[in-house]
Copies of this chain bind each other. A is one copy, B any other.
């Protein structure tokens, strides 16, 4: 048993998947388990890994289907909308929350303000071709952008609003990427199942004078999205 059974099943299941076209339906878990001669738990373990790898997609009450390839998002200070459109996809946003709160120590540090000062919080679900792929939460100091709530169309591009209407000039930024497991709330907003690995991206942007503009926390579905960075020596 040095190689777990569920991996053997996964390997054989990959061959089945490759024999099917994108979007094709797989037989039900219970049927597959019987065909492969394993328990449903083992079958689900194999399927879960193929879902995490982005090769399958499960829809409760409907079935499991062969997935389309992952999207690739640039790790760059560009508009989400433009980046996606450039790849031939249809972007969309949905506002979950747009309110104010008091900065905790970590957030205050990132935004260069004192703890307890008010910050805007804009939380939006990002879509590509009608499918939710990410949850983006942006924090900006109220002191620095007092008119944001009147000026910004929350369904539009924040980046455009800041540069075009508020005269902000983006300078350097720093991004951190890691994998995490989504909370139930996040999974629900992204229409994902529990315990799916996500890509968590933390960004802090500064203007050309080095002053902090925003702190962003973006959670992307690991089964649907990857990142691309262009490196300069």
- A interface, CB within 8 angstroms of B: 2-4, 6-7, 45, 48-49, 52-54, 70, 72, 75-77, 170-181, 183-184, 194-195, 197-199, 203, 205, 222-223, 225-233
**Given A179-B179, A179-B199, A222-B179, A229-B4 contact (CB < 8 Å):** no
Q: How distant is the Cα of A76 from the Cα of B231 in the complex, in angstroms?
A: 6
Task: Establish whether residues B53 and A174, one from each chain, have CB atoms under 8 Å apart when the complex forms.
Answer: no
Q: How distant is the Cα of A177 from the Cα of B232 in the complex, in angstroms?
A: 17
The 9 closest A-B pairs by CB, nearest first: A197-B197, A178-B226, A179-B222, A173-B231, A177-B227, A49-B181, A175-B229, A179-B197, A170-B233
User: Which of chain B's residues have a CB closer than 8 A to the CB of A176?
Assistant: 72, 226-229
The oligomer's copy count stands at 2
Q: How distant is the Cα of A52 from the Cα of B203 in the complex, in angstroms?
A: 22
**Given A75-B231, A174-B229: 14 more A-B contacts, CB < 8 Å:** A3-B184, A48-B195, A49-B181, A52-B180, A52-B195, A54-B178, A77-B231, A174-B228, A175-B228, A175-B229, A176-B228, A177-B177, A177-B228, A197-B197
